[in-house]
């Protein structure tokens, strides 16, 4: 048993390191709307975020864990070395993005890191990757963008109630709207837990199952739950250490939004993410979904040209393109060399 624990120590520490980085990155899509509207204190965000992430992972995160733990790469390939390389590559890509101040897709980095390992080991499930996961990555941000754009241009103007157009300075007069905005942020954090905790928990769950000789799905689920209980609290730590910078950029540097629109964006993107988690178990980028919503508002208010000339928007797209590819290449090269 002591030998098994020694083999698991480094992968588990790397998974916790990854979860800390995911907490920093995931804070932005969860609380950028509420923080941008100044309805929640910065000091309250990490605790609330951590609680809701844990709840989402335990209640609705099993399918995504199965996708990342066995769907892309067979469970037997998750050896201590391979798992450590996968987690290290994901963690480095997210750490770089967090230091730049851009909320990065943990799901895309995780999927492509596992895909890099699977390519090197000749064990990639190409059907799952190219026919289910990547099409979902393309469609959901477009859906988020279109829903927000159409709503802002043609639906919300029909609603004449002044609450829908309340700006930040008058938000104190609308207590119900403030409560709804906070609830929507908690809902987003729950959706993050359902989808993103698996990025760190699934690889170490597969590794643990291999080391103790579990090879059936029925026995694999308790291992996933235990892995989640170890990984999820690290999200709150990451939110406290790294979350403020990326929350500031997403909530206040793309476009100034009313509390009502911020609430709508949060609810729509969280629902899309939760749908992907519960139906197909697809690891999906919430940071891209919510940024697509903010970009749609900016396009509606300022036009395409001004929106995509925004330095923050340009930085987002650059990091989103580079970080997952970085994770894939690093993992592929290290696995190929080590094996």
Could you read off the pLDDT of 93-140 as tens digits, one per residue? 877 776 776 667 778 889 999 999 999 999 899 999 999 999 999 999
Largest CA distance in the chain: 67
Does the pLDDT at position 8 exceed 60? yes
B/e letters for 205-227, b = 16+ CB within 10 Å, e = fewer, are bbbbbbbeebeeeeebeebbeeb
By the 8 A CB rule, do 91 and 37 touch?
no
pLDDT at 116: 95
For 153, 163, 178, 192, 264, the CA distances from 260, given in Å and listed in that order, are: 14, 8, 9, 21, 6
Taking residues 308-324, report their average pLDDT. 81
Q: Where are the domains of the chain?
A: 2-338
State the DSSP string of 218-250: HHHHHHHHHHHHHHTHHHHHHHHHHHHHHHHHH
B/e letters for 74-88, b = 16+ CB within 10 Å, e = fewer, are ebebbbbebbbbbbb
Whole-prediction pTM: 0.84
pLDDT at 316: 79
């Amino acid at each position: 048993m002591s030998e098994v624990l020694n083999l698991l120590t480094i992968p588990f520490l790397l998974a916790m390191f990854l979860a800390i980085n995911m907490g920093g990155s995931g804070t932005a899509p969860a609380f950028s709307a509420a923080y941008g509207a100044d309805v929640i204190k910065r000091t309250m965000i990490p605790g609330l975020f951590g609680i809701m992430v844990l709840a989402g992972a335990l209640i609705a995160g099993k399918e995504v864990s199965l996708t990342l733990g066995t769907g892309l790469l067979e469970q037997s390939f998750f050896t201590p070395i391979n798992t450590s390389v996968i987690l290290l590559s994901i963690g480095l890509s997210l750490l770089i993005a967090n230091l730049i101040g851009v909320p990065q897709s943990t799901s895309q980095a995780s999927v492509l890191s596992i895909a890099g390992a699977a390519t090197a080991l000749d064990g990639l499930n190409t059907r799952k990757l190219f026919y289910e996961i990547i099409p979902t990555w393309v469609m959901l941000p477009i859906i988020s963008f279109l829903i927000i754009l159409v709503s802002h241009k043609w639906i919300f103007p029909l609603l004449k109630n002044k609450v829908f157009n309340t700006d930040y300075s008058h938000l104190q007069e609308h207590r119900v709207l403030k409560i709804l905005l906070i609830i929507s942020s908690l809902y987003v954090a729950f959706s993050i837990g359902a989808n993103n905790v698996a990025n760190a928990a699934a690889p170490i769950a597969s590794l643990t199952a291999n080391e103790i000789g579990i090879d059936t799905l029925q026995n694999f689920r308790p291992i996933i739950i235990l892995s989640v209980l170890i990984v999820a609290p690290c999200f709150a730590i990451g939110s406290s250490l790294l979350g403020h910078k990326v929350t500031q950029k997403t909530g206040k540097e793309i476009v100034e939004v009313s509390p009502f629109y911020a609430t709508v964006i949060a609810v729509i993107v969280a629902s899309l993410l939760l749908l992907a988690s519960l139906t197909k178990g697809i690891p999906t980028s919430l940071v891209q979904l919510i940024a697509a919503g903010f970009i749609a508002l900016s396009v509606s208010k300022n036009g395409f040209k001004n929106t995509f000339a925004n330095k923050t928007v340009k930085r987002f797209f650059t990091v989103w393109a580079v970080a997952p590819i970085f994770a894939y290449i690093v993992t592929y090269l290290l696995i190929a060399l080590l094996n």
